[in-house]
Copies of this chain bind each other. A is one copy, B any other.
Amino acid sequence: MSDDRWVPPTVLLAVDLVILTMRESRLQVLLVQRGVEPYRGDLALPGGFLNHVEEDLPAAAHRELAEEAGLSADQLHLEQLGVYGTPGRDPRGRVVSVAYLAIAPRLPEPTAGTDASDACWTSTDRALSAEARLAFDHRRIVADGVERARAKLEYSALATAFCGPTFTISELQDVYEAVWGVSLDPRNFYRKVQSVDGFIVPAGTTRRTDTGRPARLFRPGPREALHPPMTRPTGPADKETAKA
């Protein structure tokens, strides 16, 4: 049991990012096409190995966020998602990857002119479908990230991270509908988000759209945990069926 010569094994440490945003009223994830082996040509999450042995994990996540997506740390939610380290998941050796979940507000353009201009936004439905070819175990990581986002919309103010500095209530509702894949009653939604104290606070101004009455603008409130939580509709009433 005890071998004096035994030394603990070392592993390669990588950081992978599930970057979610709202585009075209859909939940989308940033994927890059791999230019090198293994899985050359397949889609993968942005990420990479630690730069040096003393690099901090959140620092590495922010670095990849900047390098591969051109996103800065300001106004962006970042949290650890989990560790993926099954032996054999990477043919190059024992690679253990720390996955981070990032939520970004809608961005000007699909990250043109960045280091990784081969990055593209893909709807999570498509990324998780059978047709998409994802490298490594990245399909599972995306699925876990989406599931985390779904769950956190219920009991936290995470939804505001998908919006800009100010947003309308129907924008916020679009986030809930897209992430949950359901259709919500605008009137009850309006009442609900306003009644949860500290979730959103009025910004005082309004925003016009092409048509209809201008909507009041709101800012994220100080409240992080939602009590009582937003209730996710149960049963088979998903958005597609409901709108059909």
Contacts and interface: CB of A to CB of B under 8 A. Distances in A.
Given A8-B49, A10-B12, A49-B9, A54 B87 contact: yes
Given A98-B83, A229-B229, A9 B53 contact: yes
A12 B7 CA distance: 10
A205 interface: no
Contacts of A51: 9
Oligomeric state, in number of copies?
2
Given A52-B9, A57-B83, A234 B227 contact: yes
A50 interface: yes
A72 interface: no
A86 interface: yes
Given A57-B83, A83-B57, A11 B13 contact: yes
A214 interface: no
Given A11-B11, A11-B13, A53 B228 contact: no
Interface residues of A, number: 33
Contacts of A9: 13, 49-53
A15 B228 CA distance: 36
Nearest to A93: B53
Interface string A201-233: 000000000000000000000000001110100
Contacts of A151: 155
A55 interface: yes
Nearest to A94: B53
A38 interface: no
Contact of A12 (B8, B52, B229): B8
Interface string A45-80: 000011111111100000000000000000000001
Given A8-B49, A11-B50, A53-B94, 7 more contacts: A8-B50, A57-B83, A57-B86, A57-B96, A83-B83, A96-B98, A228-B231
Closest 8 CB pairs of A and B: A8-B49, A9-B53, A10-B10, A54-B87, A11-B13, A57-B85, A53-B94, A83-B83
